[in-house]
Chain A
Amino acid sequence: MKRRLTLFVLFALLVSSFGSLASAQDEVTLLIWADETRAGVIEELGGTFEEEYGVSLEVQQLAFGDIRDQLRIAGPAGEGPDVIIGAHDWLGELVANGLVAPVDLGEDVDNFSPVAIQAFTYESQLYGVPYAVENIALFYNTELVPEPPKTWAEVRALSEELTDADAGQYGFVIQQGDPYHFFPVMTSFGGYVFGVDEEGNYNPEDVGIDSEGAIAGLQFVVDMINDGLIPSGLDGNTAQTLFQDGKAAMYITGPWNVQAFTDAGTPFAIAPIPAAEEGGENGAPFIGSQGFMVSAFSENLPLAQVFLTEFAASEEVQQLLYERGGRPSALLSVMEGVEDPYAAAFAEASATGLPMPAIPEMSAVWSFWGDAVTNAMLGAQTPEEAFSTAASEIRAAIAGE
């Protein structure tokens, strides 16, 4: 028995010695969660920041999507990062869960693309320093279509001319049931997803899926499918392959496919989304933005804020982020020095663009909206039926029924 007592005493000693080791103070470190490309940039340029402020930066590399999922668990537990890289459309969820803290760019805010700032603004409060904006645009095969179409009527006329279903040759193609790529078509006809209040915030009470313009846009695409001008049942990969192989002359996609088309030798150029009629406004693509955000559970919150406003917002960092990431920069001065014709074309297409809604209600919209587009394209419902059912289901889901 005595022996056992000694053992317990020994344990107690060991435990306490480990405990004191763990509580030893270490120097100030900022932990940053970033994806592979961004992690490289921060590690490369972080030295100047470390030197100036005498802190060390630790960059942890995660898959882009994992950053959001891990933050919900690690952040509140006090094990999370101080700064994260993320997409603006996570904001609704991150703010609702109290995971990110507001950011103040002061006067520097004017150096950024207004739409990127708008994207990172949630409930009239800025939550991040954006570094990239991206949007989709109309890609056209320059051998098949010498001049980009200005209106959807021209798109249809070109398709009628080019389509030869037996040879697998098509004019304009669009993937089925993908609301993100369908949105610009719908907006050129005047459709919308959520209305906007005076301050530019999306209003979840005003659902525009069943608006006249949205239905007209869907009707236009469905008519083309029914007339055999667009193959039905296309998925994203197939549509991309068709365009890449020159089997489709026009296709709506984003900067991520530029490299693939260039490598494949597809002769292509990029134009804004066509308008509904001559002189009308071009279709609005969704604009996505990526940026730096501060974890609200950071133990070095003030320092993390300094990192954002002094480091992430600096031109040097933004320049390298642009060069490595390949997406148009959110910092205006970086874009001024860019000579890439594609980047300029995407920027032109983004002129009418709208930030992708970040409000949590959007998650209900995606699935019902996508299903409605699929149903209409498959002919299971007319465009009007499909969108009015979807809109009522979305309204019910938002109301929590």
Chain B
Amino acid sequence: MATETQNIKDTISTGKVRDMLTGSLSGIIFRIIALGIIDAFAVWFVINLVDNQAWILAVFVSAITLGINAFFLSDKLYAYRWFAPGLTLMILMIVYPTVFTVYAAFTNYRDGNLLTTSQLRDRLEPELYLPEDAATYSWTAFRTTSGEEKFALWLIPSEGVEGEPLLAEQGKLTLASEVDLGDFALDEDGVPEGLPGYERIRRGQAIGVYLPTLSGIKFGEGDDLFQFYPQRPQDFAAKFITRFEFNDDNSILDKSTDTLYKPKEGSYYGPDGEPAPTPITGFYVVTGFDNFQRLIESRAIREPFLRVFIWTISYAFLSVFLTFALGLFLAIVLNADFMPGRAVFRTMLLVPYTLPAFVTVLVWRGLLNEELGVVNKGFESLFGWGPDWFSDPLWAKAGILLIQLWLGFPYMMLICSGALQSIPRDIYSAAEVDGANAFQKFRTLTLPLLLVAVGPLLIASFAFNFNNFTIIEYYFEGGPPIPGGGVAGHTDILITYTYALAFGSGRGADYAFASTISIVIFLLVATITVFNFRFTRSWEEISENV
């Protein structure tokens, strides 16, 4: 026994001083290979990111990789290796999106300005144009038979085009009639079967295998350079000219019209202030507080904002209050010893909680349908009248709260049941001795003690409902619409309103503006939550006195 204990102690103490440099050889090799794979991937990833000017993500990925390396190579930090996967995910999935959202709010990242400057160059560089009087040719490709791989095109003027057949080699242009064909003869189309030093490439192969190479080559010499027609490379080649020229100040010269387009806040404008034509698009730049300014100054946004804000708060509050009230009531009932079959009821009542919210909302929408829904059919046969769940603003709000109640009470019941069981029974006996009735016991003992336990959960639930996109959007997309109220509807909450503003405003998707409103919503929710936590501290004093 004694030696065994000693052995364990030894293992523990050596374990403390052991680091990867003194571990078993196979272990070290495995770790190095694993780390090498991670690093190789990271280097490849970062190079790509830098290439695409995704600076923020590149910094994050580099930092994460350096961190992982440090954890595994440094003796001091080796203990953190268990954190590495969690930290990596947290940085990539939570910190990075947050930082990017904040960054995007200060840019003009929206439809029309989605590209970076280098992506815009990639996009415009292959653009060619054909001067009006230029001739077009059908082509046949040839490839050198030995030595350095080079290509040549045998060009025959297209039907109805004046001109002579040509042989365009890389750096050389000859009239076809002056070409020495050697042993080769022309076929019925007037194309030689081969050329001295060259072999003819079969047409299918020329397109499938060599087109990527061929379309990057300018055939001919001097100013007579032939390229494929980008839209129908299989049919034509001609003296195309590169259409766009980039300057260092990011301005673009369109050589087909000889117009210079200058960027202003990421969008291009011509000399007379007209927007640049397609295919010139904008790129995204930091625009400072423009989006915030627009949020404050725009009449269409500001006017419905207060109305939407008030409904958001009432919706979140009522959702929590109603679900909590019903959940608590059921929890107390099901907590009473005299209730038979409590387990069965409890299980059945949890069903709504287990269903996905968006499915439930769609089902409820059917149930509440004003013409055919079961609910209104019932109402009409009983009272001869049914609520307008979708056309009347107040009833629409009631409908949403009803669905919310059905969806949310099982959760509240669950947490209240747990909290109820943790309240000591003896304080109730003490209260009975003091002559308290059932209501007094509930009000002065159960409720305060319960709130201490579930208070933070209620606040979390409030914050969650503040942004509960699913229910509002699937119920009626924020409708019924407010006449003359812009994009806001009667049941729109801030997050659905944001969505409508950012993606339905007539300018396509506006990520920058959506980010801006998200930040504002975050500030609102954070403020409310801070106050809520202050408020719950008063309950904690109660629990300290018990």
Interface residues of A (CB under 8 A from B): 3-4, 7, 10-11, 14-15, 17-19, 22, 27-28, 52-55, 72, 76-78, 92-93, 95-98, 101-104, 106, 123, 125, 168, 177, 231-235, 237-238, 241-242, 296-297, 299-303, 305-306, 309-310, 360-361, 363-368, 371-372, 374-375, 378, 380-381, 385-386, 389, 393-394, 396-398, 400-401
Contact = CB atoms under 8 A, between A and B. Distances in A.
Q: Which of B35, B280, B486, B508 has the most CB of A within 10 A?
A: B508
Nearest to B123: A98
B109 to A, nearest CB: 11
Contacts of A11: 32, 35-36, 39
Nearest to B277: A123
B115 A98 contact: yes
10 contacts: A98-B120, A98-B123, A104-B231, A168-B372, A177-B479, A306-B234, A363-B505, A363-B506, A393-B300, A401-B300
A55 B208 contact: yes
A69 to B, nearest CB: 9
Nearest to A72: B114
A366 B504 contact: yes
Contacts of B300: 393, 396-397, 401
Given A101-B231, A303-B211, A367-B504, 7 more contacts: A3-B21, A14-B39, A15-B39, A52-B208, A54-B208, A297-B123, A398-B506
B234 A14 contact: no
B383 interface: no
A393 B486 contact: yes
A301 B128 CA distance: 13
A238 B365 CA distance: 11
A17 B37 CA distance: 10
Contact of B484 (A28, A366, A389): A389
A97 B281 contact: yes
A238 B372 contact: yes
B371 A234 contact: yes
Contacts of B281: 96-98
Q: Which of B37, B207, B215 has the most CB of A within 10 A?
A: B207
A220 to B, nearest CB: 20
Interface of B: 21, 32-33, 35-37, 39-41, 43-44, 48, 52, 73, 111-112, 114-116, 119-120, 122-123, 126, 204-205, 207-209, 211-212, 215, 228-235, 277-281, 298-300, 365-366, 369-372, 388, 390-391, 479-481, 483-484, 486-487, 489, 500, 503-509
A22 to B, nearest CB: 6
A234 B365 CA distance: 12
B508 A28 contact: no
Q: Which of B215, B230, B371, B391 has the most CB of A within 10 A?
A: B371
Contacts of A54: 204-205, 208-209
Contacts of B112: 96-97, 360
Nearest to A385: B483
A18 B37 contact: yes
Nearest to A106: B232
Q: Which 7 pairs, one residue from A and one from B, show the smallest C-beta to C-beta distance?
A: A364-B506, A53-B208, A14-B36, A18-B40, A371-B481, A104-B231, A397-B506
B41 to A, nearest CB: 8
A96 B26 CA distance: 56
A164 B133 CA distance: 71
Contacts of A241: 372
B278 A360 contact: no
A375 B370 contact: no
Contacts of A104: 229, 231-232
A310 B211 CA distance: 14
Contacts of A372: 481
Nearest to A298: B126
Nearest to B280: A98
Contact of A103 (B116, B228, B231): B231
A3 to B, nearest CB: 6
